[in-house]
Amino acid sequence: MTDLRTDGAAALEWAAGYLERVGELPVLAQVAPGEIRSRLPVTAPDDGEPFQDVLRDLDEILLPGVTHWQHPRYFAYFATSAVEEGILAELLAATLNSVAFLWRTAPAATELEYVVLDWVAELLGLPSGWHGHIEDTASTSTLAAIIAAREATGRDLIVCYEQAHSAADKAARMLGMRLRKVPTDDQFRLDPDALGDLSDAAVIVATVGTTASTAVDPVPAIAEACERSGTWLHVDAAYAGTAMVCPEFRWAFAGVDRADSVVVNAHKWMLTPMDCSLLWTRRPEEFRRAFSVIPEFLRTPDAEDALSLSEYGPVLGRRFRALKLWAVLRCRGRSGLQAHVRSGVELAARFEQWVAAEPGWEVCAPRDFSVVCFRLAGDDDRNRAVLERVNASGEMFISQAVLNGQYVLRLAIGQVSTTEADVRLAWEVLRREARDL
Ligand SMILES: Cc1ncc(COP(=O)(O)O)c(C=O)c1O
């Protein structure tokens, strides 16, 4: 039998020790595909084993196969952090094991979700009174918004562009909807003049902070086109939305108040453990029309009905995700989130200056937030080789993107523990590996 006090204390000690030493581990897991699986038994044990054995095997078998997202030199994709209060709240949420599909199955989880979504809307400058709820990921949030858009418009065309996240492509395929991609301008933003005829468009997916270069689409012009054609506007601010907590970045949310739905991932830049995707809409009734299916066993008195958040999205059983977000918002406050965003942006600006000043390297896209797209002079293969070498070193982890048909390197800052020394070390590793090519 697992003892929550003694085994729990050991698990907590493991977690605290891990966060203290994670910076000394190789960022990218140094294992071959299949290696971890081959070290594990092929069947579950017949009889229960002590929890200590689980912790031991976590260290000995699994840890070598962990890519350390909590590492201060994790710079790939979008670097994220799960902070202490969020980690603890996950433990507490699992302890309560609420399944929030009806208001009555989880009144506190349901109502806290409404409250934290209102809090974050206010923090980010979204209009008050919008309906917000939590999905697992931005992929699901965007899928849900597209389904609501189809329901609201009766149309089956999704309009986006090549820099939109592939979640839109995936949604189109899953839903059997048509997808039209419009060209970008020279700064990798959706070009509103290229939108064309929207009379059969159900939804335009615009992005504030694209995945590749964090470009910000001209949302006011796109909103205008949507309003003219009766098209739903979904804004994907999965990464950059968090930056709106700082007044100096609010320009990027211009026009977002005219959107029909907006997604921001708290598990990206808002310090909240994976997974926690925040979806707001000013048209909750359209979501409800799209998603509310109430068989007899789910029937409750009407007053409870509209509050049940499973009526606004694709899933029935819902985790108590609001608890971790609440913990983060309370323990960091507005100022803590602002400090985190500003620190990432300042470090990225410094890195950008170093790259721009170094002969043989170039910055490849405007930098609005904490991501720098850059490359080494020469062909794509040289840049691919540098990326492979720096990642294999274990000292840092970056990823890549394609801009203007060209392969570029991408350094994303978002880890709460990243310091200037980490970014400087990353730059040294990059230059060393480029020299040694
Ligand atoms: C702009 C943008 N939208 C959506 C997503 C998808 O996020 P998720 O992994 O939560 O589905 C990402 C992921 O990086 C993203 O950058």
Comparing C-alpha atoms, which of 233, 248, 234 is closest to residue 125?
248
Q: How far, in Å, are 157, 238, 432 from residue 231 at the CA level?
A: 10, 21, 51
CA distance 292 to 312: 7
Pocket flag, ligand 1, residue 137 (CB < 6 Å): yes
% of the chain residues with pLDDT over 90: 93
Distance 285 CA to ligand 1 centre (A): 25
Distance 237 CA to ligand 1 centre (A): 9
Pocket flag, ligand 1, residue 213 (CB < 6 Å): no
Residue 222 belongs to what H/E stretch? helix 219-229
Residue type, 285: E
Ligand 1 atom nearest to 267, measured from its CA: 10
CA distance 85 to 319: 17
- Cα 117 vs. chain centroid, distance in angstroms? 16
Ligand 1 atom nearest to 140, measured from its CA: 11
pLDDT at 296: 87
CA distance 76 to 234: 26
Q: Whose CA is nearest to atom 15 of ligand 1?
A: 211
Q: How far, in Å, are 29, 225, 419 from residue 391 at the CA level?
A: 9, 43, 19
Q: How far, in Å, are 10, 86, 88, 96, 132 from residue 6 at the CA level?
A: 6, 22, 16, 19, 39
Contact criterion met (CB below 8 Å) for 109 and 120: no
pLDDT at 163: 86
Token pair for 369: 């937030």
Distance 396 CA to ligand 1 centre (A): 22
Q: Which residues pair with 133 in a beta bridge?
A: 279
Contact criterion met (CB below 8 Å) for 231 and 262: no
17 burial type by CB count under 10 A (0-12 exposed, 13-18 middle, 19+ buried) = exposed
Pocket flag, ligand 1, residue 138 (CB < 6 Å): yes
pLDDT at 285: 96
pLDDT at 64: 97
Residue type, 361: W
Pocket flag, ligand 1, residue 286 (CB < 6 Å): no
Pocket flag, ligand 1, residue 98 (CB < 6 Å): no
pLDDT at 295: 87
Pocket flag, ligand 1, residue 239 (CB < 6 Å): yes
pLDDT at 19: 98
Token pair for 101: 């599909």
Distance 377 CA to ligand 1 centre (A): 29
In the chain, which residues have pLDDT < 50? none
pLDDT at 196: 92
188 burial type by CB count under 10 A (0-12 exposed, 13-18 middle, 19+ buried) = buried
pLDDT at 301: 81
CA angle 328, 95, 273 (to 5 degrees): 30
Pocket flag, ligand 1, residue 393 (CB < 6 Å): no
Q: Are β-strands 232-236 and 371-376 bridged in parallel, bridged antiparallel, or unpaired? A: unpaired
